[in-house]
């Protein structure tokens, strides 16, 4: 199908090239074709109306065919009718191609230019709308991306704060545990110190009691020795007198 269309386009271009390269000759030939077509038309009309005086006389007299001498018409020749129609059509087309076609071409070109301009304006409008839509979509996507980034940053900050709070809570718990352990240890140390002091106090009291008892015993012994000496002196006194 494409080969046939290419062949037709080549043939059309060759015909147009021939018409353009041989414009003067083809123009005169088309004029002669139109003159022949006009003559053929007049000849057909005169034969049909019986005006056989119009030279040259063509066709066959009807009186010879029908045997009626009163019939003055001539039967038209088919070759004259056919060639007149063909030459008239071809000549008219050639004259149209040489005379009217440029104006029609220019008009068509102007119309085509207007159509192309309108189409271009519509395309430009559509392109501008498309670009505007793309810009708006890009701005929306950028805004969404910024919102997502901000949300992610806020989430990360919140996670960091939670982690920091948890870490601080752990540290505080450890410190509190250490403080509590230190308090317990201090209480235990104080209790041990108090118990030690009590034990030492008891031992000191015992030692003092022992020392006091010893002192008392010594004092008692000393008192016993003194009374013994006194008794001896008392006993020895009378003996001396005697």
Domain assignment present for 6: yes
Predicted TM-score of the model (pTM): 0.38
* Whether pLDDT at 241 is above 50: no
Domain assignment present for 157: no
* Whether pLDDT at 6 is above 90: no
Domain assignment present for 87: yes
* Overall domain count for the chain: 1
- Torsion angle of the four alpha carbons 43, 44, 45, 49, in this order, in degrees rounded to the nearest 10: 100
Domain assignment present for 178: no
* Whether pLDDT at 91 is above 70: yes
CB 30 within 8 A of CB 95: yes
User: Of the ranges 133-137, 153-157, 197-201, which one carries the lowest mean pLDDT score?
Assistant: 197-201
Domain assignment present for 74: yes
Three-state DSSP class for 54?
coil
Domain assignment present for 42: yes
User: Of the ranges 88-92, 132-136, 199-203, 231-235, which one carries the lowest mean pLDDT score?
Assistant: 231-235
Domain assignment present for 217: no
Residue 107 sits in which domain range? 2-111
Give how far the C-alpha of residue 221 lies from the chain's centroid of Cα atoms, to the nearest Å: 120
Kindly report the CA angle at 141 between 135 and 145, in degrees rounded to 5? 140
Domain assignment present for 92: yes
User: What pLDDT was estimated at residue 38?
Assistant: 93
- Top pLDDT among 214 and 227 is at 214
CB 33 within 8 A of CB 91: yes
Mean pLDDT, the chain, rounded, equals 75
């Amino acid at each position: 199908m494409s080969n046939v269309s290419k062949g037709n386009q080549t043939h059309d271009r060759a015909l147009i090239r021939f018409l353009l390269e041989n414009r003067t000759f083809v123009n005169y030939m088309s004029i002669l074709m139109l003159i022949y077509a006009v003559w053929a038309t007049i000849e057909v009309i005169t034969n049909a109306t019986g005006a056989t005086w119009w030279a040259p006389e063509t066709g066959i007299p009807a009186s010879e065919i029908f045997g009626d001498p009163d019939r003055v018409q001539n039967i038209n020749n088919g070759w004259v009718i056919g060639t007149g129609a063909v030459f008239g059509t071809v000549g008219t087309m050639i004259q149209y191609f040489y005379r009217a076609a440029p104006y029609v071409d220019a008009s068509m070109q102007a119309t085509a230019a207007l159509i192309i301009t309108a189409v271009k304006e519509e395309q430009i409008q559509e392109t501008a709308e498309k670009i505007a839509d793309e810009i708006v979509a890009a701005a929306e996507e950028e805004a969404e991306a910024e919102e997502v980034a901000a949300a992610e940053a806020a989430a990360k900050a919140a996670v960091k704060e939670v982690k920091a709070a948890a870490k601080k809570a752990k540290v505080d718990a450890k410190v509190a545990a250490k403080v509590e352990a230190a308090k317990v240890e201090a209480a235990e140390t104080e209790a041990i110190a108090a118990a030690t002091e009590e034990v030492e106090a008891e031992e000191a009291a015992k030692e003092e009691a022992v020392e006091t008892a010893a002192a008392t015993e010594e004092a008692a012994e000393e008192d016993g020795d003194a009374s013994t000496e006194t008794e001896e002196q008392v006993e020895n006194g009378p003996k001396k007198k005697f």
